[in-house]
Structure 1
Amino acid sequence: MWSDRSWWPTGSVSRRDVLAATGTAGAVGLTGCTRALSSEEREVNIAGSSTVFPIAEAIASDFVQRNPEVNVSVSQTGSGGGFSNFFCPGMTDLNNASRPIADEERSQCATNGVEPIEFTVGTDALTVVVNPEADWVDCVTIDELREIWRVGGAERWSDVREEWPDEEFELYGADTVSGTFDYFRETVIGEEENHRNDYSATEKDRTIVRGVQGSPYSMGYFGFSYYSENPDSIKALAIDDGEGCIEPTLETAKSGEYRPLSRPLFTYAAKAELADSAVREFLRFFIEQAATDLVSDVGYVPITEEERDENLARLDEAIEDVT
């Protein structure tokens, strides 16, 4: 894995961020820095999903406090951006993803000799949000969401329901490199329509939060964690999939009631990189912590003990192959 960090994407969170937050001495270079690691230092590089980012960030913080000799860098690049630009080219050890790796991404990885190993790290309630001043709406159907977000669909709130305001939508959502975009497009828009492109698209979910906070006629979507950080300044909509309005919560995501927007979250490891003790130690810790309240604390459903044990068995098998 590279020690020249000049290629690392803007917005990364590394041990410098963690140590600054905890008051611990020491740091690692951020974007644009090219300091080589000393012989005593070890490094784990992670890119990918902004949805999974809060889980990885929290686990990395805990890990480096226990293992100060390891530098862990976590960056938000979107699931697809992480796969295509960093993980499959062999530039990162792990890639977080809010949807399964695509066939074309597996092919790209194979071309570069990268074998991805999948691990489930949580469950998300993908959340549709509006401004708290939007007192006319508390629940939407999947058909209404499709009409709002499809190409050639509704332009104004009143286009969806006559009693809603005769005001244009102000829309904020995931960028096309995002796994959240892929999941929303597949689940809400469907195969017969395309996701509209005249909206504010970003890989940074907190940018969506700020956009929705700024306009009473706005709407956005992202992982539940980003709503749970801001429950007083944005409003989550219940979703009616034909069986009544179900609010996004950890409980409804865990039970499967929140359909169809509850989804599994993943991290993928480059199998060859598990020969590096720092990578495999961190990944084992990641898997173990993914089954704890740490995950619910950042707004997602932890994996079950059974899922944890399946992950660990898969990890042990992969490690045995490369060490």
Structure 2
Amino acid sequence: MMSRDSPAAGPAGIGRRELLAAAGVSVSGALAGCSGILAAEGNQINIAGSSTVFPVTEAIASAYTQDNPTTNISLSKTGSGGGFGNFFCVGRTDINNASRAIAEAEEEQCGNNDVTPIEFPVATDALTVVVNPDADFVDCLTVEQLRQIWRADGADRWSDIDDSFPDAELELYGAATTSGTFDYFKEEIVGEETNHRGDYYATEQDRTIVQGVQGSESAMGYFGFSYYSENPDSVKAVAVDNGDGCVEPSLETAQRGEYTPLTRDLYIYVAKESLADPTVRDFVRYYMEQTTSDLIAEIGYVPLNEEKQAENIDKLESNIDEVTA
């Protein structure tokens, strides 16, 4: 097995791209050549980062530009870490989607480039492990079994995990190392003291993981719940046993805190300096208004409660006041 990256594919991706093109949202694999926050002109907003948060920002950007057709939003999947390190913290984007909190080294990089990141939680995710629908031998795995599969020098065959499983080679698909999903999965499943295995198909394109798992009865992958909810007939979600029995990933189990340890917060980070731009601050206000809406649940994540939304709005307005004073 080896790492590879592939472009998004499939009818769902094509339809969404057509919708975004009509709405004035450009979706790209990278933001090469974008002007960024230091030289942005007119009604331009540049966003990179997490593929997990991407569907949320994509949908909100589409809705926003339908009402604000003169605004152009450039949106790219680079992974949380790739977005922070290559775009946001060097002043090339206004917003970074993130499926984990910003790291200390990234905050330092931002500071060295006079970029002040403001954190806004926007949803809750049930990070989901998936297998092929025909893999009827597995419906639930313990955290320790997942660790055996995904740690460096881990299991090579399904039968290494359980004698009742087929003697078939594991075919693994997962997040690239620049991804916040990779970081979170490594911390919660593999463990901080152990390396995540490197011999798997690594990609920022979650639909590539869907296609890979769909194509092999021996395959397994992991990604945000939104991508599973888009493809429930193509892949099968695996319940996780963290010591209290098997719990299936769902919006309900994530909201109740039962799906552990793979329930996590999702974020956007906004460059405080970008809030001096009326277009950026208007879009971020709109974004915050949508975080309690049914739109979040329709995408496949748990919306914020009104208390957390109010905290976000208060934080946003306080920072807007500071940059516009």
Q: Structure 2-normalised TM-score?
A: 0.90
The amino acid that maps onto 2:206 is: D
Kindly state the Cα deviation for residue 121 of structure 1 after the two structures are TM-superposed: 0.3
User: For residues 46 and 25 of structure 1, what CA distance do their matches in structure 2 show?
Assistant: 16
Cα distance in 1 for partners of 2:115, 2:313 equals 20
| Contact 2:25–2:75 under 8 Å retained in 1 | no
User: Which residue is equivalent to 1:246?
Assistant: 247
**Contact (CA 8 Å) 1:124, 1:301: kept in 2 or not?**
yes
Find the residue that maps to 2:124 and give its secondary structure: strand
Work out whether residues 41 and 69 of structure 1, in 8 Å CA contact, stay in contact via their aligned partners in 2: no
- Name structure 2 gaps, 5 residues minimum: 1-6, 9-14
In structure 2, give the amino acid aligned to 1:248: P
For 1:33-44, list aligned pairs within 5 A: 41-44=42-45
Deviations 1:173-213 (A, max 9, x none): 00000000000000001122110000000011111111101
For residue 26 of structure 1, report the CA deviation from its aligned partner: 6.8
The reply to whether residue 261 of structure 1 matches residue 262 of structure 2 is: yes
Return the offset for 1:80. Answer: 0.1
Is the Cα contact below 8 Å between 2:19 and 2:62 reproduced in 1?
A: no
1:32–1:314 Cα change, 3 Å: closer
Q: Which residue of 1 aligns with 2:316?
A: 315
- Say if 2:26 and 2:75, in contact at 8 Å, map to a contact too: no
Q: Kindly tell me: are residues 234 and 275 of structure 1, through their superposed partners in 2, closer, same or farther at Cα, counting changes over 3 Å? A: same
Distance 1:223 1:129 in 2: 10
Q: Which residue of 1 aligns with 2:134?
A: 133
Residues 18 and 211 (structure 1 numbering): CA distance in 2 closer, same or farther, change over 3 Å? closer
CA gap of 1:43–1:316, structure 2 versus 1, over 3 A, is: same
Spell out the pairing of 1:187-226 with structure 2 (5 A cutoff). 187-226=188-227
Using the alignment, how far apart are the partners of 1:26 and 1:85 within structure 2?
24
| 1:296 to 1:190, Cα distance in 2 relative to 1, 3 A | same
Over aligned residues, Cα RMSD in angstroms?
Answer: 2.2
For the Cα contact (< 8 Å) 2:77–2:204, is it kept in 1? yes
Give the aligned residue type for 1:300: Y
Q: Which portions of structure 1, spanning 4 or more consecutive aligned residues, are displaced by more than 6 angstroms? A: 25-36
Q: Which residue of 2 aligns with 1:110?
A: 111
SS for the counterpart of 2:302 is coil
Q: Report % sequence identity.
A: 59
Tell me the secondary structure at the aligned position of residue 287 of structure 1: helix
Map of 1:174 onto structure 2: 175
For 2:93, the equivalent position in structure 1 comes to 92
Q: What are the ranges of 5 or more consecutive residues in structure 1 without an aligned counterpart?
A: 1-9, 12-16
Question: Match for residue 71 of structure 1?
Answer: 72
TM-score normalised to structure 1 length: 0.90
Aligned counterparts of 2:83 and 2:203: Cα–Cα separation in 1: 14
User: Corresponding residue for 2:288?
Assistant: 287
The count of residues paired between Structure 1 and Structure 2 equals 307
Cα distance change on mapping 1:153 and 1:180 into 2, 3 Å: same
On the 8 A contact 2:47/2:95 being kept in 1, the answer is yes
| Aligned residue identity for 2:242 | D
CA distance in structure 2 between the partners assigned to 1:75 and 1:40 by the alignment: 19
Letter paired with 1:164: F
- Tell me what 2:276 maps to: 275
Q: Please give the alpha-carbon distance, in whole angstroms, between the structure 1 residues aligned to 2:16 and 2:140.
A: 38
Amino acid in the other structure paired with 2:272: K
Gap change, CA 1:105 and 1:26, over 3 Å in 2: closer
Partner of 2:186: 185
After TM superposition, give the deviation of residue 290 of structure 1 in Å.
1.2
Provide the secondary structure at the position in 2 that maps to 1:163: coil
Q: Which residue of 2 aligns with 1:120?
A: 121
What secondary structure, in the 3-state scheme, does the structure 2 residue paired with 1:183 have? helix
Q: How much does 1:294 deviate?
A: 0.4
Residue 52 of structure 1 corresponds to 53
Q: Which sits farther off after the overlay, 41-50 or 142-151? A: 41-50
Q: 2-side partners of 1:43 and 1:82: how far apart?
A: 18
1:20 to partner: Cα distance: 3.9
Would the aligned equivalents of 1:246 and 1:257 in 2 still touch at CA under 8 Å? yes
